[in-house]
Every structure is written in structure tokens, then in C-alpha cells.
Amino acid sequence: MNSVEIKKDIYWVGGIDWDLRNFHGYMTQRGSTYNAYLIVDDKVTLIDTVKHYLRDEMFERISEIIDPSKIDYVVSNHVEMDHSGSIPYLMKKCPKAKIVASPNGVKGLKKHYGDSYNYKTVKTGDTLDIGKRELNFLLTPMVHWPDNMLTYCPDEKILFSNDSFGQHLASSERFDDEYELDIIMEEAKKYYANIVLPYSMQVQNELKAASELDIEIVAPSHGIIFRKYIDKIVEKYKKWSSNKYDKKALIIYDTMWKSTKKIAYAVQNGFEENGYNTRMLNLQYNHISDIMTEVLNAEYICIGSPTLNNNIMPTVASFITYLKGLAPRDRKGLAFGSYGWGGQSIGILHEELKDCGFDLLEDIKINYIPSEKQLDEIKNNIIEQIS
């Protein structure tokens, strides 16, 4: 339960959620951390807290350093309960503490926990003097709630970035030069695709504002802290937020009697013949949050479903609902599937993909089982359309 000093008198005092496997529908195979940071200065300041069930862990870490009742300020960069959930307990133990948050943060915290606490509202450009150091605030609404803000400590060159640059990754290591960089980046990509993607425009504004700051440490509220590879994660955020994709096609489907699966593989052949990287993503075996990670840099999103009870299969419907909410822009799509009678699934998929704003290839609709000749035609039609 050790705290970790990240700079003199500034400590990581968060909680490690080793067992977390589901974060509101996002599959977190590697667990997560909720990072809280303690600054011991004339005014003792805690930046963010942890999920309610890890509050004792956080308190143990704080208690190694100071008596928690000495906390003067709790900076709440974000209302979501994975970061604010321990505030009620904390305020019982630290009654003199003042909560510092954005205007929407104060509103949101009052809706969650009542209005009996002392609040200080801050906006972009405001400064909080905590003794030898000061804290600056930068509001970043909708990255990814209306209340989000960043806290920057110019004296220490630390950006407390909250959800931005975060990863759901439980580890005993705290820094980017202590853990496998590929895994950090993979989890950062998954986090971006599943949480941040709809707010890419706001991320670009945030990156622009952050580029004017002198930063040696990026301390997010989930996962690993960046000190060596800040340029790499910023470069990735620039790419992901600019909606740039690679020459990559996803073939996402479910199947009843393997006819739609056969179509899916014929579609894949067409893309591969044209030099595309492909991913075959059967919804029976792939979680929708892992598929979204692939969507982040894919040009084509092809979705297949047989017709089941005049509709698409529930697994496919679930994925489409999730995809539409996360709203990737400027992609291309394809609706395909097999049917026995009716055949409504393909039309439903077509409309759903159109609603996403995607340009669509010609639908593929096959009665019962595709013949070898039909599979060849599917492949050749794909090659012709994407050439």
C-alpha cells in the first residue's frame, strides 16, 4: 500500500482496482487504477479521489505521509464517481477541506453529494496559491463530461490531466519507463476509442492549450504516469483526435448457420486483394469494446447479420448501438448478410450505417447459402468498388 513520490512532496496516493473487468460496459481485462495525487505544501492539496470501495486504500497511502485531516483543498477535476466517489468519506475525515472544481463540477458534485460542503469554483486562467507552488486551471468541457478540467502546476511542470491520456491498467509500476510501452499505448488507444472518441474536437482544443505549457510529467487519473514518453502519447492523441485512419477494413458479423460467415470471408478476400489490412470480428467471440479499439484507425466498417425474426441479431444490434454512440466520423461501410425469407437484416444494417454518416458500398444480400460462384462475385465486386 505504498504511496509513490512523483516529485518532491508530491505523491501518488490512488487506488488499484486489480479485479475490475467491466467499466460501464467497457471490458477492462487489465483492471484499472484511480489516481489521486497529494501535494504537501503550506496548503495540503489532494487532486481527485478514488472509487468509493478503494477509499481505505487511498487513506492508508495518505496517512503514510500526513494526517489526512490536514488536507486543505480537494481539487476535483471531474465529477464521475470513479474520481469523486470517496469525497463524502473524505469530507467526514477532513471537515475543513474546501473542494475546488469548475462551475459544472460544483453543480455536478452538489447533485451527487448534496450542498453541505465548502466549494471554490474555478475557471480557465484561475490560479490557486498553495504555498511554494501554485495551481492553474484549464476547463476542458466534454472531455468527456461537461465538468472536466485540467490542473497544471507550473512550479513542478506537472499536468494533472484527469481522464485525458488515461488507460485502464492496474499495475504496481507507476511510470511509463517502468512498464511495457506497447501495453500502455494499447490501453490508451482502447481508452480513447471507448471513452474519448466522440469528443475529438474538444481534445484538439485541449492539445492546443496544453502545447503552450512546459510539461515534464503528465499525471492522468487512470493508469500509468508519463514522464519519458510524453511526446509519444501526445502524438497518438493528435492522430486519434484528427480522425485519421489506416488502410484497414473491419469485417464485423454474427452468423447462425455460417452463411453470413462465408460472405464475411469473401468480403475479406476482396479487401486483402486490394492491400488492406483486415480484422475478422465475430461478435460471438469479440467484445464490443475491443472492436471499438480496432475502429479507431479503420477506414472500412463492414457489418454482417443474418435475418433473425425479421431483424438483425441482438449481438449486432448491441454493437451498432455502441458504435453510434461513440460516433467515429468519415468512415466507409458495408451491410451484408444471408437470409431465408424476409431478408430485413441487410436493409436495417444499411440504414444504421447511413445514420452513422458512412459512405456505403453496395449491400450484399444472399438467400440461404452462398454458392462458390456467388462468393467469387462478392470478392470481385469488393475489389472493383474499392479500387
Query: So which residues are the catalytic ones?
Result: 24, 78, 80, 82, 144, 163, 191, 222
Minimum distance of ligand FEO from residue 24's CB (angstroms): 10
Minimum distance of ligand FEO from residue 222's CB (angstroms): 6
* Interacting residues of 55 by C-beta distance below 8 A, sequence separation 6+: 15, 49, 85, 86, 89, 90
- Helix 181-191 to helix 230-241 angle (10° resolution) is 30
- Counting beta carbons within 10 angstroms of the beta carbon of residue 74, is it exposed (0 to 12), middle (13 to 18) or buried (19 or more)? buried
348: amino acid identity, one letter:
I
Minimum distance of ligand FEO from residue 191's CB (angstroms): 9
For the chain, where are the alpha helices, taking DSSP H only? Answer: 55-65, 81-84, 87-93, 103-113, 181-191, 200-210, 230-241, 259-273, 288-295, 314-326, 344-355, 372-386
Q: Which residue has the cell 472531455?
A: 143
Minimum distance of ligand FEO from residue 144's CB (angstroms): 6
Query: Which residue has the CB atom at the shortest distance from ligand FEO?
Result: 80
Q: Which residues bind ligand FEO (CB under 6 A)?
A: 78, 80, 82-83, 144, 163, 221-222
- Residue closer to ligand FEO (CB basis): 141 or 304: 141
What SS3 state is found at 34?
Answer: strand
Beta carbons within 10 angstroms of residue 137's beta carbon: 21
C-alpha span between 368 and 257 (Å, rounded): 9
- Residue closer to ligand FEO (CB basis): 46 or 366: 46
- Residue closer to ligand FEO (CB basis): 225 or 334: 225
- Residue closer to ligand FEO (CB basis): 137 or 276: 137
Minimum distance of ligand FEO from residue 27's CB (angstroms): 16
C-alpha span between 195 and 308 (Å, rounded): 31
Sign, CA dihedral 74-7-217-28, equals: negative
Minimum distance of ligand FEO from residue 187's CB (angstroms): 13
C-alpha span between 336 and 203 (Å, rounded): 34
- Residue closer to ligand FEO (CB basis): 11 or 26: 26
Minimum distance of ligand FEO from residue 221's CB (angstroms): 6
- Residue closer to ligand FEO (CB basis): 192 or 253: 192
139: amino acid identity, one letter:
L
Radius of gyration of the chain (CA): 24
- DSSP letters, 107-139, are HHHHHHH-S-SEEEE--TT-EEE-SS-EEEEEE
- Residue closer to ligand FEO (CB basis): 160 or 300: 160
Question: Cβ distance 43 to 132 under 8 Å?
Answer: no
